[in-house]
Structure 1
Amino acid sequence: MCGILFQLVQARNDSNRSTSSPVSDTLINDVARRGPDSLSTVEIAAESLRLSFSASVLSLRGTAVVPQPLYSHSGHTSETQYVLCWNGEAWRLDGEEFGPDENDTRLIFDKLIACEGRLQDVVQRIEGPYAFVFYDGPRKKLWFGRDWLGRRSLLLRQAAPGTSDITICSIADSQNTCRWDEVEADGLYFINLSDLRQPETDIQHPPIRRIPFISHDDKGLEQESSTCMTLPIPRLCKTIPAPNTPSLTPDSPAVSRLYDLLYGSLRLRVQHIPLHSVPLVPGHDGSLRPSKVGILFSGGLDCTMLARIAHEILPVHEPIELLNVAFENRRVLDAAVAEAKKAMKNKKDSYQKLNGPASTSTGGNMGLTESPADNDIYSICPDRQTGRNSWKELQTVCPTRDWRFKEINVPYDEVLAHKPRVIALLHPHDTEMDLSIGLAFYFASRPLEPDSPKILLSGLGADELFGGYARHGTAFNRNGYPGLIDELELDLTRLGKRNLGRDDRIIANWGREARFPFLDEILLREVIAWPVTDKCGFGAVPAGDNWDALDSEKKVLRLLAWKLGMKDVAGEKKRAIQFGARTAKMEAKGGKVKGTHKISVTTA
């Protein structure tokens, strides 16, 4: 994980100065927060242009910290020829995994230099999340882009009309009122710097060109390697299942294969975490071993299965942290108190009818329970309840592992104190739903101790792959398998437009990195090619076994949980994080606010 900050400034012909506003110290500090292990800057002056490359590093690969930006000089002069700011994890190149001691940044840099200006030939062969900025001095080009799923953040800000200055950064500058735009995860972008090198050139904005990603079997476009890149996945299998297709069982080949795919994906993401990235600060009692891996843990099916399979990979002496966040939600709490008061009044009225009005003075508490306000306000959060239940099942099924269930309790006043910061990190996303989800990730990923793990696993992607949303069931009920398949295809096409960049800005703020095992390219390629009946159970003929009672959504993943002994988890319902952690509609008198509404001034 790294923070990227690039500036291109062109001198003006009137005063030989740029009209662009410099970035604030706040932005530089925010970039540094993303990568606490290193922060460096490389500057290049080329005729009328000044290029500044800054990068911070959170080192999680290789045997030592590799400072960024990486740069290379010409063999004959001291002129800088190439510069790379890389924020990513390249798990594979051409299908081959990197070695445990190799640093992907250095290897990618060497490949980009050797490709002789054909970056698309290298980029389309990378498997894993990334965002980058690359300077190709000999060819006078600046390249930038994100992986096809947009798993790492990259924003762009263009200066006022009449200038060609641009800034590219992992996060927005909260001290500057200019709007930032998210770099789309739809291809590789570049600028021909030779177009901008004359001071008298009056270009409103530098022309930004794109080499797009296209499907490997898209016959509607000219598939020349110089004009496009091939997506690493096939089209969704749209075969309509035969009538009376048998139901999936724990012994179905798809269930076993899903285990293998998840195991392989998790192995890449948790097995070789270098020692230099693991804090050596002892636990509070002076003896606790630090965790290398944490899981954003609601107790739901997806995250619990990541925990269960990670147990098969990590040495048994290594603890795994389960990060469970719950919020003090005034609206929910007030409703619970009102309901409790109503129940108490009803009980009191019933008691008086049976024993007389005077009996209340001598009747003790009449068997009435205390108000929810007197109990743990965080225990009523759905994710806290499911989190505790799934933690207990993990302890039962995998008793040799030190499962560290971390209860992260967030008071309402603390939410108000941090909300401006969260809103700044969300930019350019700005809806109430963005805020609700952002708050949950912000506090869930905030380190609890100095030795908190830097790597956090997320179950994102399982719902899109295996039909885990309620709308998948609705689509099947309305239009059968064709409707369900169309809905799954829509999810697939929208994966690159999901809000992973937003989530990256939130989580990386704490110097931690989110990893998404369900979005591994090998796993995606295989699962996308499966028939729909190998993913979910809609319309299948029951076999008359106990597992038939499991929900049809994500049936293959539920059966894998069942097979691995997690039978309670196999039956867990889908619940969005903003509702499970209770970050949605937190104000007691918030009115009817929809998730699509813009964040209001009063909310902020």
Structure 2
Amino acid sequence: MTGPNQVLTQLRVTHMLRDAGLHINQEFRAKTLFLSFEQCFVFILVTCFDLQTLLCHKMCGILCTLCRRDEFAEKAIYERLLPLVKNAIQRRGPDYCREECFEVNDWRVCMFASVLWLQGNEIAQQPKIDENRNILLWNGDIFGGLPVAEGMSDTLGLSEALEATGGSHEQILQVLSSIQGPWSFIYWCEDKKELWFGRDALGRHSLLWNTKSQNSLVVTSIGKRGYDLEEVPAIGLFVGNISDENFNLKLYPWHTTEIRAAVQTFHLEKILNLRISDDVKVVSNYCPSTLQVPAEYDNFIGLIKDYANQTKEFDVKTFYEVLLTEPKVKSRVERLIYELKLAVDVRCRFQPVKCKTCASSRIAQCEHSTVAVLFSGGLDSTLIAALACASVQQNRSIDLINVSFPYSQPTFSSKKKQPADPFINVGEKIIPEELLIKTDPNYETPDRKTGKASFAELSKIFPTTKLNFIEVNVTKDELIENRNKHIADLIYPLKSILDDSLGCALWFAARGKGIKHNSTGQIVSREYTSTANILLLGMGADELLGGYSKYRKDFGKKEDWLKIATLLAHDLAVIPYRNLGRDDRVVSDSGRQARYPFLSENFVQFIATVPAYLRTAPFGFLPLGVGEKLLLRLAAYSIGLQVSSTAPKRALQFGSKIAGLEGKSEQGHNVCPRLLLPE
């Protein structure tokens, strides 16, 4: 919600820049709406330069195979696998593909890449081979950290930086650890006959491998069911030397990796010829979460309890207003908005000037959507959408993609009263039903209702931004067909009920096919496919800010803040082991790139330093949708998002109603038979 301080800040900046001969337009005001005076100048320093010419980004599928030349049986297996994997990889990067094969001693190495052209005057071809015959396969974004010359692709910039190391392990580790942004890579160092590969410290991009044979190795972005592949654990960087008779692997762990737990989790002892470095660790771009607990009496906690004890009827708006009077909370709310705003901004700006549809045309630019948001109308997605409104050029639209599966409202007998949905009740109070867009009643899921309410609120707050509500309705038959054809292989090697529900829902969202509504409620197209190059996702918010119900349960009546701090530290530590690789594979299949603002290194670093009691308030006396992720809710409320700031957490599989569509009472951790190949 815009207050007098924001208005005064913009006036100060406006007058000073006008004195310097710079023109301030409406777009600048929208983009600096939530920033302090100092933050405005940081924003100016960043945006005075054309970020679209700084880095040439692309999304790739990468694959490397290593096989002894005399192992004909294993070679035959991989010769059957590779065409299937290559086809799937080319769906990720359909603009250019190439393979480079060579022999070293008794080994044959093949490196394949398929590139999706997302930016630059020309495609950055891969595999990238430098003058010394070093070969790079790169699937990532360099948003900062590693200097890259203006106009140069990040693939070329990284290749030059790695070449300059001369193969030094220490220097290669320094180069890779400096990168801010998601990535996975494979790198052949010709001089030392070494093969490097790995994922960023948060595991945001996919990489799979097979390490169960001494005679072969496969490392790939994507696999196929029926072949023995596993996720490459995002616990460090791997390097293997094949100048000797055997292929010996060494792991340099990230300094944030709990290596003992990782060894047990991933059964690293079973990987043949693997040695873990115990003297050198790779420095991650963020620190472990603080275990700081509040003092015996803390003003902020006192405010929460005093309000709850003194009021008969709990009013969320008044409660948030009271909490924002606490200076240490207000300052952290402002810092959170600032860090998240920069994360959203760079993820919106680092992409082509043209949408997917117009990319191959001769027009210089277009006004179609290049940014989409997976949009449930909940706290995380709505805050991202709001900040994207201040980052995207005003002549461009933003696609808010809302996915639902068939759902009919349950009927209740007169004796049994229908339970209330607190989020829907809040939404209806704030946004009258007549202002909500009209959608198919057969898909009126919880996420559809909240999505429409938050869409109406965003349209009101940002009247000059072109917002599109993309109503994605997925039939049961369509789900079954596409799971069998594509999605099950993308989810592989994961295979649980939860993986199935989340992976399928995310695939249909990323495909972006549905009914397009504009902010006035009109249906623009009934057969629309999103033109966006990137899809913004809210993953990471629950782990960083305490959004899960387990926090309230473990907090209990004892109010054990150390336990909550320990839980948050653990949840941050295991983010790399979660399912971001699956999500990357699923989203990339539609030729879009998944980007996670909450998992920006700078945002993670900031949140990790915030004490647990200032991130979440899992008090049992607070209503659901108030205490969880409290710091994030206060941030959303402070910029005017009243609907989503009071939204209880609702997981995608439940909000979209894919859970239970094909099987009732299924347990999320159980193996999903629908993901297995028929026998």
Bin the TM-score by the shorter chain. Answer: 0.7 to 0.9
Does residue 592 of the first structure (1) align with residue 665 of the second (2)? Answer: yes
2:447 to 368, 380, 383: 383
1:59 CA displacement = 2.3
Of the three residues 219, 227, 230, the one matched with 1:178 is: 227
Residue 103 of structure 2 aligns to a residue whose secondary structure is strand
Q: 1:458 to 1:116 in 2, by over 3 A?
A: same
Give the SS at the match of 1:58: strand
After TM superposition, give the deviation of residue 276 of structure 1 in Å. Answer: 5.2
Whether the aligned pair in 1 keeps the contact of 2:257 and 2:573 (CA below 8 Å) is no
SS of 1:40's equivalent?
strand
- Whole-Å separation in 2 of the counterparts to 1:46 and 1:136: 12
Q: 2:628 aligns with which of 553, 558, 568?
A: 553
Q: Shift of the alpha carbon at 1:225?
A: 10
CA deviation after TM superposition for structure 1 residue 19, in Å: 5.4
Return the offset for 1:47. 3.3
Once the two structures are superposed, residues 502-558 of structure 1 have per-residue CA deviations (whole angstroms, 9 ceiling, x without a partner) of 11111111111100001111111111111223322346999xxxxx99611111111
Q: 1:187 aligns with which of 207, 220, 236?
A: 236
Is 1:431 the counterpart of 2:496? The answer is: yes
1:335-374 superposed matches below 5 A: 336=410, 339=411
Letter in 2 for 1:472: Y
> Which SS does the other structure have where 2:594 is aligned?
strand
Alignment of 1:90-129 (within 5 A): 90-93=142-145, 101-117=151-167, 118=169, 119-129=172-182
Secondary structure, in 3 states, of the residue corresponding to 1:523? Answer: helix
Amino acid at match of 1:586: L
> Of the candidates 131, 147, 153, which is equivalent to residue 184 of structure 2?
131
1:262, CA displacement in angstroms? 0.8
One of 299, 306, 327 as aligned partner of 1:245:
299
* Other-structure match for 2:29: none
Which residue of the other structure, out of 505, 518, 529, is the alignment partner of 1:440? Answer: 505
Residues 393 and 54 (structure 1 numbering): CA distance in 2 closer, same or farther, change over 3 Å? same
- The 1:533/1:102 distance shift into structure 2, 3 A limit, reads farther
Structure 1 residue 506 corresponds to structure 2 residue 586: yes
Q: Is the 8 A contact 2:353 2:366 kept in 1?
A: no
Q: For the residues of structure 1 that align with 2:667 and 2:481, how far apart are their CA atoms?
A: 23
The amino acid that maps onto 2:598 is F
**Aligned residue runs from structure 1 range 468-487, under 5 A:** 468-477=547-556, 478-487=558-567
Which stretch has the larger CA shift, 492-501 or 308-317? 308-317
Aligned to 2:460: 396
* Aligned residue identity for 1:4: I
1:27 aligned partner = 85
**Contact residue 355 and residue 368 of structure 2 kept, 8 A:** no
Alignment of 1:448-463 (within 5 A): 448=513, 449=528, 452-463=531-542
Question: Relative to structure 1, is the Cα distance of residues 344 and 53 closer, same or farther in structure 2, using a 3 angstrom cutoff?
Answer: same
- Partners of 1:125 and 1:602 in 2: how far apart? 38
Superposed displacement of residue 489, structure 1: 1.2
Cα shift at 1:168: 1.0
Contact 2:537 2:596 in 1 (8 A): yes
Q: After superposition, what is the alpha-carbon deviation per residue over 1:381-437, rounded to whole angstroms, capped at 9, x for unaligned?
A: 111011100000000111111110000000111111112222211111010110010
Taking structure 1 as reference, are residues 93 and 211 closer, same or farther at Cα in structure 2, changes over 3 Å only? same
Give the corresponding residue for 2:200.
Answer: 147
Task: Quote the offset at 1:62 in angstroms.
Answer: 3.5
3-state SS of paired residue (1:208): strand
Larger deviation, residues 300-309 vs 102-111: 102-111
Change (3 A) 1:233 1:580: same
- Decide which of 128, 138, 161 is 1:70's aligned counterpart: 128
C-alpha separation in 1, matches of 2:613 and 2:496 = 36
Deviations 1:155-193 (A, max 9, x none): 01247x5x511111111134xx33101111001101101
1:42–1:434 distance in 2 versus 1, CA, 3 Å:
same
In structure 2, the partner of 1:466 is 545
* 2:186 aligned counterpart, secondary structure: strand
1:292/1:343 CA distance change after superposition, 3 Å:
same
Q: CA RMSD in A?
A: 3.1
Aligned runs of 1:413-432 on 2, under 5 Å?
413-420=477-484, 421-432=486-497
Q: Is the 8 A contact 1:326 1:409 kept in 2?
A: yes
Residue 208 of structure 1 pairs with residue 249 of structure 2:
yes
What residue in structure 2 maps to residue 86 of structure 1?
138
Task: Summarize the Cα distance change of 1:188–1:277 in structure 2 as closer, same or farther, 3 Å threshold.
Answer: farther
Relative to structure 1, the CA distance from residue 110 to residue 376 in structure 2 (aligned partners, 3 Å threshold; closer, same or farther) is same
Letter of the 1:238 counterpart: L
**1:412 and 2:465 correspond:** no
User: Identity rate of aligned residues, in percent?
Assistant: 30
Checking the alignment, whether the CA contact within 8 Å between 2:64 and 2:218 is kept in structure 1 is yes
The counterpart of 2:367, out of the listed 272, 283, 289, is: 289
**CA distance 1:376–1:191, change in 2 (3 Å):** same
Deviations 1:122-167 (A, max 9, x none): 11111111111000011110000001111001001247x5x51111
Structure showing greater radius of gyration is: 1
Deviation at 1:472, TM superposition (A): 1.4
- Per-residue CA deviations over 1:186-209 (Å, capped at 9, x if unaligned) read 01101101124xxxxxx6xx3322
> Residues of 2 paired with 1:17 and 1:527: CA distance?
47
Q: Tell me the CA shift for residue 288 of structure 1.
A: 9.1
Query: CA offsets, 1:10-37, max 9 Å, x none?
Result: 1128x89945531342221111000012
Q: Is the CA contact 1:61–1:100 (under 8 Å) kept in the aligned structure 2?
A: no
Alignment partner, residue 30 of structure 2: none
Q: 1:103/1:468 Cα in 2 relative to 1: closer, same or farther (>3 Å)?
A: same
Instruction: Say which SS state the counterpart of residue 26 (structure 1) adopts.
Output: helix
Distance 1:277 1:168, change over 3 A: farther
Helix, strand or coil at the partner of 1:315: coil
User: Partners of 1:601 and 1:514 in 2: how far apart?
Assistant: 25
State the alpha-carbon separation in 2 of the partners of residues 412 and 61 from structure 1.
37
Give 1:375 shift: 7.3
Q: CA deviation at 1:210?
A: 0.7
Contact 1:433 1:595 in 2 (8 A): yes
Q: Which residue of 1 aligns with 2:352?
A: 274
Distance 1:64 1:533 in 2: 49
Query: What SS is found at the alignment partner of 1:434?
Result: helix
> Using the alignment, how far apart are the partners of 1:126 and 1:489 within structure 2?
23
| Structure-to-structure mapping, 1:293-304, within 5 angstroms | 293-304=371-382
Once residues 219 and 138 of structure 2 are traced to their aligned partners in structure 1, the CA distance between those partners, rounded to angstroms, is 13
Question: Cα offset for 1:279?
Answer: 2.9
- Amino acid paired to 2:345: R
| Secondary structure of 1:445 counterpart | helix
Per the alignment, residue 280 of structure 2 pairs with: 227
* Superimposed CA distance per residue, residues 272-299 of structure 1 (whole angstroms, 9 cap, x where no aligned partner): 42225643289xxxx9931010001111
1:281 and 1:451 in contact (8 A); partners too: no
Q: 1:20 to 1:281 in 2, by over 3 A?
A: closer
Does the 8 A contact of 2:208 with 2:220 survive in 1? yes
Of the three residues 36, 41, 45, the one matched with 2:103 is 45
Distance 2:221 2:675 in 1: 28
SS in 2 for 1:233: coil
Q: Which amino acid aligns with 1:70?
A: K
List gaps (5 residues or longer) in structure 2: 1-58, 260-275, 304-322, 418-438, 514-527
2:24 corresponds to: none
Structure 2 letter corresponding to 1:239: Q
Structure 1, unpaired ranges of 5+ = 75-80, 197-202, 347-373, 543-547
Aligned to 1:528: 608
User: Quick one: structure 1 residues 209 and 281, their matched pair in 2 at CA, closer, same or farther if it must change by over 3 Å?
Assistant: closer
Q: CA deviation at 1:318?
A: 1.2
Match of 2:37 in 1: none
Q: Which amino acid aligns with 1:507?
A: V
